[in-house]
Structure 1
Amino acid sequence: MSVGTAPERARTAPTARPPGRRPRLRPRRLGLHVFLMGVSLAFLAPLALAVYASLRPYEETSELGYFSLPKKLSFDYYQQAFSDSGMTKYFVNTLVIAVPGVLLVLFLASFVAFAVARLRMRGGVVLLMLFTAGNLLPQQVIVTPLYVVFNRIPLPYWMSDSMTMFDSYWAVLAVQVGFQLGFCVFVLANFMRALPYEIVEAAIVDGAGVWTQYWRITLPLCRPALAALGTLQFTWMYNDFLWALVFMSDGDKLPITSALNNLRGQFFTDYNLLAAGSVIVALPTLLVFLLLQRHFIAGLTLGSSKG
């Protein structure tokens, strides 16, 4: 079989791009970049406006408008928002709910996902469908039944001042875990199914039990998915306001989102002060994302490429 002469191979070989020269941007790709930049700016615009307003006096924005050039910028509103709303107490309340909630959801969801995806148990698909179907139920539909049930479930005094689940962190934590569990089970089960089963088979040959297969083999491989879910779950639980408002009557137990109500006046609301409080409230979720950014992005891009 002839492979051709050297001149022929030179003519048919792809021409190499000169070093230092960037590839030409095609119109379709340019349009995609413009569209993505537009969407990004649309999502960032409210945040940028809130930060901009929080640095200006309200008198200035009320006179010139929010889209005018500033005469003075300062961080006075941030100090006032933090002190007037008592955010330290509310931050602690939120962490008491969000941190155990995220850990408990990921732990229980990984258990169920491992049983469904790796143990090949009977009825695993039906069980996965039930957990997934739980996410389709509107949460507001069961507010009244849960309110009645939590008022009738007794707890010792050291767990709840009201001697019931109502007006305690346990009620909010139970609801958060219950509603977020289905989504995490669905994601983790599909991720575990994509893992090579030969790894588990090799561990079984070496005498590994079910706990070893779960804790020492499968769970470390799920670190990107767990990081992505942990970031999302913390953001959702941290920003939740409905359940705490319904199941807590003591204002000192409310989460950080309720602290913004303390910045509202009865007859007048300084929206620049409220914007500063909103930015302070958003900082912990931004910090969590920055800390888990590498794992979060890896979890989102799983399965996007082969090999």
Structure 2
Amino acid sequence: MTADVRTTHHGGPQALPPRTHRSRAPRRRGAFGVPLFLTAVSLAFLAPLLLAVYASLRPYEETAENGYFSWPDRLSFDYYNQAYTESGMGRYFTNTLLIAVPAVIVTLFLASFAAFAISRLRIRGGVILLMLFTAGNLLPPQVIVTPLYALFLKIPLPWWMSDSLTLYDSFWALIVVNIGFQMGFCVFVLSNFMRTLPREILEAAIVDGAGVWTQFWRITLPLCRPALAALATLEFTWIYNDFLWALIFISNPDKLPITSSLNNLRGQFFTDYNLLAAGSVLVALPTVLVFLLLQRHFIAGLTLGAGKG
């Protein structure tokens, strides 16, 4: 082991302490415990879905004889084709898109307006308005089912908007209800997100002569893209999976959303649960696809600002 020598500012040599090999830091306790715990929790959440996929690939006779946890004799995708054709899933999926896509777009557009006014314009009563939006999320939907049902029966619609004479039994009823119930959550999230944006950006835009619309549309809204993508993913999933409002406000079977198509796979005296599992997997695929497409923006919207004090 040799000592290094360096030259001081006086020109003379100066010995450095001998180099020693740095010992590796001891591994922290629980370094393997956290990944194992997270893996176990993930498997616990995925277990019902994995069991449904496994059951959908097996004939009902085989599982009825040997049980769902037995080793399969053969696997096939016959149930998926049968579930899609027998339930009329294509028509119901179109109905769901006609409900979910407008509801998500209008909800995010209106919520961004309200959030911008509350967080960036500092209007009078903005805090009270935000509290009202937040309090709306605490109201159980079942509380106002009867008043909404009576109200929708009285609100007329023009013939070009719906073939029904009133708001009841139309796609507009589900769109309006979902917008009303999802607005509070979106305003709360977007207003908090907009508060994290630097105010210097808007101040510079005001100096350059930008109006309120320019400040909102061309400056603030593009910066909120991660939050909007995260909210769009959540809102589409929630509206897509909704079953309560369709059951109450839709009486025409041809207008029901895709969650109602699973009822067509249930028989009056017998239900093939393997066929029902295949239908459930097909119904869940669009939400998984939406999440995969917006995964990067979704995670960015959830983690942005996590490191700020």
TM-score in terms of structure 1 length: 0.93
Q: Within 1, Cα distance between the matches of 2:44 and 2:270?
A: 29
In the alignment, which residue of structure 1 is the partner of 2:185? Answer: 183
Q: Within 1, Cα distance between the matches of 2:143 and 2:131?
A: 20
CA gap of 1:30–1:265, structure 2 versus 1, over 3 A, is: same
- Offset of residue 9 of structure 1: 9.4
In the TM superposition, what are the counterparts of 1:71-82 in structure 2 within 5 Å?
71-82=73-84
In the alignment, which residue of structure 1 is the partner of 2:273? Answer: 271
Aligned-pair identity (%): 74
In the TM superposition, what are the counterparts of 1:80-229 in structure 2 within 5 Å?
80-229=82-231
In the alignment, which residue of structure 2 is the partner of 1:231? Answer: 233
Larger radius of gyration between Structure 1 and Structure 2: 2
Q: Within 1, Cα distance between the matches of 2:124 and 2:92?
A: 45
Q: Within 1, Cα distance between the matches of 2:164 and 2:304?
A: 46
Task: Say which SS state the counterpart of residue 28 (structure 1) adopts.
Answer: coil
Q: Within 2, Cα distance between the matches of 1:103 and 1:80?
A: 34
Q: Within 1, Cα distance between the matches of 2:152 and 2:259?
A: 22
Task: Say which SS state the counterpart of residue 207 (structure 1) adopts.
Answer: coil
Q: Within 1, Cα distance between the matches of 2:308 and 2:48?
A: 38
Q: Flag the structure with higher helix content.
A: 1
Aligned length: 297
- 1:111-159 deviations in Å (ceiling 9; x for gaps): 0000000011111111000000000000011000000000011111222
- Corresponding residue to 2:284 among 264, 282, 285: 282
Q: Within 2, Cα distance between the matches of 1:24 and 1:219?
A: 47
Q: Within 2, Cα distance between the matches of 1:156 and 1:9?
A: 90
- Offset of residue 24 of structure 1: 6.4
TM-score in terms of structure 2 length: 0.92
In the alignment, which residue of structure 2 is the partner of 1:20? Answer: none
Q: What root-mean-square deviation, in Å, do the aligned CA atoms of Structure 1 and Structure 2 show?
A: 1.8
Q: Within 1, Cα distance between the matches of 2:226 and 2:132?
A: 25
In the TM superposition, what are the counterparts of 1:44-83 in structure 2 within 5 Å?
44-83=46-85
Q: Within 2, Cα distance between the matches of 1:6 and 1:251?
A: 90
Task: Report the AA paired with residue 250 of structure 1.
Answer: N
Q: Which runs of 5+ in 1 are unaligned?
A: 18-22
- Offset of residue 203 of structure 1: 0.5
CA gap of 1:16–1:186, structure 2 versus 1, over 3 A, is: farther
Q: Within 2, Cα distance between the matches of 1:137 and 1:6?
A: 75
Divergent runs of 4+, >6 A: none
Q: Which runs of 5+ in 2 are unaligned?
A: 1-13
- Offset of residue 160 of structure 1: 2.3
